[in-house]
Amino acid sequence: MSAQVANVPAPPVEVVAANVTAALAEDLGSGDVTAALLPDGPDIAYLLCKEDAVICGRPWFDACHRALDPDVRIDWRIAEGDRIAKGTVVATLAGRSRALVSAERASLNFLQTLSGTATITADHVAAVRGTGTRILDTRKTIPGLRIAQKYAVRVGGGDNHRIGLYDTVMLKENHIRAYGSLGGAVQAARALHPTLPLIVEVETLAQLREALDAGCTRILIDDFDAATRREAVRIAKSAPWHGRIPLEVSGGVDMTTLRGIAEDGVDCISIGGLTKHVRAIDLSLKLGPPPGG
């Protein structure tokens, strides 16, 4: 495992298994009619990356192939989370020819998608390096692949926001409206879910002060312009609050604005595009020995 992902827990085995079962059922259906044309003898294959990328998704790739051939041998030449160059042979495989080609598409779909998420996350993390700002994902994920994509964000050096609607309370304008005040909504949330993290989204500096007074785990300043954002940082880091509640920025973030937002002193930047705007990494699995052996 690369140093970059040394502290990233492996994805849950049951999640990988469920993802792979669904993907193979979707692709194979009643059976691979094309693979049936091949002699079902031993063969070898190699996995080629056709662009610079951070590789992520080995557990899913391996599980796809082992589901169809438990005796397949997969020799990885790189570690999970490694950044590699275009043209790198990242793995070689040895197994039954029909199983190799039947597992090909599902295994590549996982690896190219998760590598895409890890790569774009790593690019965003690199853009804010040295500022102390953390890059967060959101719940804008591919249905059924949330745990996988959030794992890929961590492999890319980012951090996870909330996993779903069950593990963190997040108060927005509707909650504040329902309780008549931000403080009232915070009090109700703490009473109902005293052990869960609490994030409060604010739309004005006045609401920011209310949230700082009420207390919470993190404050989201959504769509603030640059001047208001810098004032929000100044307020949050001044007495009597003195930086005790982290500030998160969301909205209006892209690679052209990312560094400037981080340099304003915010603690976190959440970016839906890490998992929503997925551009798969170009990978291919070819039968035969790799170039150069």
Matching residue, tokens 């739309």: 203
Q: How many residues does the chain have?
A: 293
Q: Report phi then psi at 51, rounded to 5.
A: -155, 165
Distance between CA atoms of residues 105 and 128, nearest Å: 35
Give, to the nearest 10 degrees, the angle between helix 205-214 and helix 182-192: 30
Catalytic residue among 139, 140, 190, 230: 140
Distance between CA atoms of residues 234 and 236, nearest Å: 6
Burial class (CB in 10 A: 0-12, 13-18, 19+), 281: buried
Among this protein's residues, is 237 annotated catalytic?
A: no
Distance between CA atoms of residues 79 and 83, nearest Å: 9
Catalytic residue among 77, 105, 190, 209: 105
Among this protein's residues, is 172 annotated catalytic?
A: yes
Distance between CA atoms of residues 260 and 98, nearest Å: 52
Partners of 46 in the beta sheet?
92, 286
Distance between CA atoms of residues 162 and 15, nearest Å: 17
Burial class (CB in 10 A: 0-12, 13-18, 19+), 38: middle
Nearest C-alpha neighbor of 59 from the set 31, 93, 17? 17
Among this protein's residues, is 105 annotated catalytic?
A: yes
Catalytic residue among 172, 190, 259, 276: 172
Among this protein's residues, is 86 annotated catalytic?
A: no
Give the three-class secondary structure for 180: coil
- Check residue 159 and report its DSSP letter: B
Catalytic residue among 201, 210, 248, 267: 201
Catalytic residue among 123, 222, 231, 263: 222
Distance between CA atoms of residues 74 and 69, nearest Å: 11
Query: CA 21 from chain center: how many Å?
Result: 21
> Any idea which residues carry the catalytic annotation?
105, 140, 172, 201, 222
